[in-house]
Amino acid sequence: MSIIFHEETKVFHLQNDAISYIMMVLPNGKMGHLYFGKRIHDREDFENLLELVPRPMSSGIFVGDKFFSSQHIKQELPDYGTGDYRSPAVEILQKNGSRISDFQYHSHHVEAGKPLLPGLPATYTEDQKEAETLVLNLVDSVTGIEAELFYTIFAQRGILARSIRYHNKGNQSVYLGRAMSLCLDLPDCEYDWVQLSGAWGRERHVKTRRLATGVQSIGSMRGNSSHEHNPFLILKRPLTSERQGEAIGFSFVYSGNFLMQAEVDAHDNTRVLVGLHPDTFTWHLKEGESFQTPEALMVYTDSGLNDMSQSFHQLFQTRLARGYWRDRVRPILINNWEATYFNFTEDKLVQIAEKAKECGVELFVLDDGWFGARNNDFAGLGDWVANPERLSGGITGLAERISQLGMKFGLWFEPEMVNKDSDLYRSHPDWILEAPGRENSQGRNQHVLDFSRKEVVDCMFEMMAKILREAKVSYIKWDMNRSITECFSKSFAPEQQGEIFHRYILGVYDLYERLTTEFPEVLFESCASGGGRFDPGILYYAPQGWASDNSDAVERMKIQYGTSMCYPISSIGSHVSVIPNHQVYRNTPLHTRANVAYFGTFGYELDLNKLSEKEIEEVKEQIAFMKEYRSLLQFGAFYRLKSPFEGNELVWMVVSEDKRTALVGWYRILNVVNDRFTRVKLQGLNEDFCYEVSQDGTKRYGDELMNLGLVTSDATAGQTPQDEIPCTDFESRIYILKAVEV
């Protein structure tokens, strides 16, 4: 790993064993981009990569060179109004009405390790040898605005982290109208665009299309990263697969409004922009003040999509997630929501917990309905005090009863929301986001608290911290069940209303930071009506997230498969729920519900007292299996082998670090008859190890399993005999592979 600067040619070369990132100071003083991709040898001069040619209708601020046009040059910080007609990365409204800026290179320095981003989540290092950071200082001479461009290259894999900090060193206040975190100009457009999109109940489905001339983008203006579009993007070569080929993955470490955009110009150059969504953002940057953009990440690979995913998995697992639970296996939990909804008593909860303890469950989680006048979703939000009619001993008493069973206790909160029918709202009606003189929208009968205001965040912290200080609470499920509308804060001046979306998210981060600091051993799980804020920003505070409110095993195949494109298995909240499923009313076998949920944090969303004795025995076996293999499942190397978006089967697997143990999850959605024989080629094994396969006891070398494949044929290859257990829809199997001596 090194960051090289060639003084004579003004070339910067960031490189490790996997990648090179090359840029230079252009003749007009701006920063030009030259290359990002597989590592290449360093040399003094890469000026041949700066291709210049006179083109009709071109223009640029650099006078005296007809070959030099900002419109066609690849740039690191393209700004508005100086001849580059593509979308800019920065736009600044000045007092005289001008939006034109011209950021030119001033200086640079290199830091060992990686600096923190104040008030924002970001990847980090624990040893300064893990990364190096280049800081470029660019200045717009007219306004006096200085831009610090941060480039952190990690020692391992093809990972680059980027962000920008703006300092107003001029004598006038300005407005940042566009402050993207990353710009990458690529020399061609021969890419497929891959995004993770959907809606509530079908989050993070894999969507693919070809890049074409013009602009295509994903984003959110909902105040949260959203169910609709995850802040993650892949540009891959058309022939790139899971196992081979070039791809660049982009991830935005942020939980609010975002934009990820690719613009292909008339000459087939591609500009990628990642950052805060400019349509909902302005920031009043006063003299002497600074503004830090959130972090954007890029991962390059020439070894296929699965290699790219593993880079994100390792980074997010060990250098984004933090704290006590980062490297620990997660407790197996049971949540009462789908078992009781609002209809519960303290004794009923304890009965559910007792049966769960008998089966081996380690954590009981009390969901919505325990506080205030919360008998339905019309009242009580904001009053974080236990309802004595339901919990006679309060949270402290219930937590103690659960603790006496030998289980941990967890609790649901939705701290960002309030019902108008609540003591909090009656005391502070001005604490919600609403526009003066306009009707205030609501979702789920609730309103959004103004987390841009410190006093609101302080109040939520004190109410939550009081419970955590008094009761034995080991886990918090942090929910957020509606997006933001009428985003207006009564506490800020008119010229600052464009800041509120971002200030809101900063308030969320502040509350998370204060709670995780005071209660470092509490496990936080994020939730936003399921997967509405499943993003890297929240992962910095909560090492796992409820992936979707849809807990149906078949639907979860696609949701968890798509999620794995970027996020580690240890971050995916996945549970076994009741049938008929409460979202799609599908009946799936108990073993398939577990076989899907194993590839995540694992737990149950049902009342085990309502299962048969046979089913209870199966649950006990599931929990025993998960306890034996959860370290491998949650922290092993994950491979996608067959996609549920491309056929009737899904196959994925995890492999231990020493490659001596692997688990293969095989799933068939709909049953077939008289079908072909099937096998699947495995990955990640040691080709010289001999593995015993649990299903039939056969022994196969790793090279055979990876090159010939694991045989998965069953009775559906012919006609199932009546005297055998019939194959059904939604069938699944877990293959256990263990290295043995031969």
Catalytic residues: 479, 549
Is residue 54 reached through a cis peptide bond, with omega within 30 degrees of 0 on the bond before it? no
Q: Give the CA distances from residue 518 to residues 317, 466, 621, in Å, rounded to whole numbers and listed in that order.
A: 22, 11, 37
Given the DSSP bridges, would you call strands 679-680 and 576-577 parallel, antiparallel or unpaired? unpaired
Q: In sequence order, which residues have a C-beta less than 8 Å from that of residue 421 and are 6 or more positions away? A: 373, 378, 379, 380
Q: Give the CA distances from residue 428 to residues 382, 418, 419, 420, 589, in Å, rounded to whole numbers and listed in that order.
A: 11, 11, 12, 10, 49
CA atoms of 535 and 566, how far apart (whole Å)? 10
Phi, psi (rounded to 5 degrees) for 221: -125, 30
CA atoms of 586 and 206, how far apart (whole Å)? 23
Given the DSSP bridges, would you call strands 408-413 and 363-366 parallel, antiparallel or unpaired? parallel
Q: Which tokens sit at 262?
A: 């690719």
CA atoms of 48 and 306, how far apart (whole Å)? 33
Q: List beta partners, residue 676.
A: none
Q: Which tokens sit at 87?
A: 């979308």
Q: Which of 654, 561, 623 is nearest to 361 (CA)?
A: 623
Q: Which tokens sit at 410?
A: 């967890």
Question: 3-class DSSP state for residue 429?
Answer: helix
Q: Are 425 and 433 in contact (CB under 8 A)?
A: no
Question: 3-class DSSP state for residue 138?
Answer: strand
R_g (Cα) of the chain, nearest Å: 27
Q: Are 685 and 655 in contact (CB under 8 A)?
A: yes
- Residue corresponding to tokens 């941990």: 408
> In a 10 Å sphere around its CB, with 0-12 CB exposed, 13-18 middle and 19+ buried, how is residue 393 labelled?
middle
CA atoms of 43 and 473, how far apart (whole Å)? 58
Question: 3-class DSSP state for residue 691?
Answer: strand
Q: Which of 326, 334, 325 is nearest to 575 (CA)?
A: 334
Q: For the chain, how long is the longest CA-to-CA vector? A: 88
